[in-house]
Amino acid sequence: MLELKDFMPINFLKKEKFTGSSKGMRFRMEKREQEGEETALAVTVWPEPYSYDATPKEEREEKLFSFDSDGIAQGVSWINERLETEADRWRKANESWR
């Protein structure tokens, strides 16, 4: 299980993307600005081994949260939920490229 303390604070995310991986699942948090909408925190998960850009869009799953500390906490919870819910998918991805 991933812990909130292991993720970067909102001030980091204002300028940079944060990426990581766990048990065959990769994840990314980033600031998302869209015209006419509030700034959001985009959280994306996808299977290893490829980077975000090298993974087809249909293999990535994304969810938007508020761009604040609460949004980061909710994003971490969602990542953990995806990690548990699709444990077989991530395990297969982890084993397939080793």
Distance CA 24, CA 95 (A): 8
Q: Is residue 43 in a domain?
A: yes
In the predicted model, is pLDDT for residue 97 greater than 80?
no
Q: Is residue 49 in a domain?
A: yes
Residue 27 in contact with residue 20, Cβ under 8 Å? Answer: yes
Q: Is residue 94 in a domain?
A: no
Q: Is residue 35 in a domain?
A: yes
Encode pLDDT of 48-71 as tens digits: 999 999 999 999 999 999 999 999
How sure is the predictor about 35, in pLDDT bands with cuts at 50, 70 and 90? confident
* Count of structural domains, the chain: 1
Domain boundaries, position 47? 4-85
Q: What is the pLDDT of residue 52?
A: 98
Stated pTM of the model: 0.93
Q: What is the pLDDT of residue 78?
A: 99
How sure is the predictor about 30, in pLDDT bands with cuts at 50, 70 and 90? very high
